[in-house]
Amino acid sequence: MPEIASTLRVLPPSPWTARPGARTAWRCEPAPVEVRAFHATLPDYAPTPLTELPALAAELEVGRVFVKDESARLGLPAFKALGASWAVHRILAERAAGARPGPVTLVTATDGNHGRAVARVARLLGQRAHVFVPRGVHPRAVSAITAERAKVTEVPGPYDEAVRLAAEAAREADAVLVQDTAWPGYERIPGWIVEGYSTLCAEIDEQLAAAGAVAGPGLVAVPVGVGSLAQAVVTHYRSRPRAQAPALLAVEPQAAACVLESLTRDAPVSITTGETSMAGLNCGTPSSIAWPHLRNGLDAAVAVSDADAARAAARLAGLGVSSGPCGAAGLAGSRAALIGPGSGPRRTALGIGPSSVVVLLSTEGADANPHPAHATAG
């Protein structure tokens, strides 16, 4: 839409970094194929929609735009249940093989969606859950976790502090930490969570092929917190032949751009985060197992404002896609990269032209992360 584009172009460029050669210089092993088969056995499993939005293609000056709509994944309003279900499945299978019967307490920290997913899986499987919630998470999101019969501990500090307290609580007998970020010494379970997200990418392959986009995407924009979903996306697309490698764009809040800062410094760093409506992305430290994939496999990273995310969420809502500010970050970041200030060099860095196919990962629905209406039009 011309009015939107002109409004964006009078703003300063969004923080950005590009990594030349990511599409051609690095490859990794694919995710296990049995993950998708496991998810297909779950009662509520169905592929989430991949919705084509021609209006966004015109706005972003590309050939086609598809939005992967995660607003109703396994009965929850976000993609996180994919990782939580696979990880808990692996944890309980391992405990059964080790002759450790009886219920277990699944402990985690969350900005909202992951904790609710762990709590839901625990309830369905007859296990207990204890969820640590940092400041800034909307009370309705906290209530949704409590409704899953989980014990909730609200933490007055940021996400990283909630993770630390959850790790301490998980040292109790018959407790297991199910955290979707990793650090040295705690990497196996976060790795299972990342594997769980691979189902989302496998669905996209099938859905693009069904829509006639058999060559796959030219760009995938993924919202990033600690980087676990981005790790899954990098794993999926960087384990393929080079001819099929799309550009991968990480999108973060300006108040919590730990991955962009780490890429800029070429080393993982922790940052002090601020307040943001993108609560699920308000993370200050990249996951240790994600970092090598992000460093080597991402083409670029961009940070967007809360207002950018709110406008993007309103735009998606107007086009029939329910998306919270975290989910809409992919559109906000794509706008900044493809039509915002300095977009010419950015499009070149991403290899994007007028016939390119763009996939936006809308990781949550509007109900997942209640937020004030910063904008009423996209």
Where would I find the H helices in 13-64?
Answer: 22-25, 34-40, 54-60
Identified catalytic residue from 69, 80, 306, 308: 80
Residues 50/360, Cβ–Cβ less than 8 Å: no
End-to-end CA distance of the chain: 9
Q: What distance in Å separates the CA atoms of residue 164 and residue 116, rounded to the nearest whole number?
A: 18
CA-based nearest residue to 219, from 365, 67, 80: 67
User: What's the CA gap between 4 and 1, in Å, rounded?
Assistant: 6
User: Could you tell me which residues come within 8 angstroms of residue 117 by beta carbon, excluding any fewer than 6 positions away?
Assistant: 76, 78, 80, 81, 83, 84, 85
| β strands within 211-305, DSSP E | 219-223, 247-253, 300-304
The whole-angstrom distance between residue 216's C-alpha and the CA centroid of its chain comes to: 20
Please, are residues 121 and 149 in contact by the beta-carbon 8 Å criterion? no
Question: H/E element holding 64?
Answer: strand 64-69
Nearest one of 207, 294, 285, 335 to 26, comparing CA atoms: 294
80 is catalytic: yes
Q: Token pair of 215, please?
A: 């060559």
Specify the DSSP element, H or E, that contains 291: helix 291-297
Check 111, 299, 306, 308 and give the catalytic one.
111
* Residues acting as catalytic residues: 80, 111
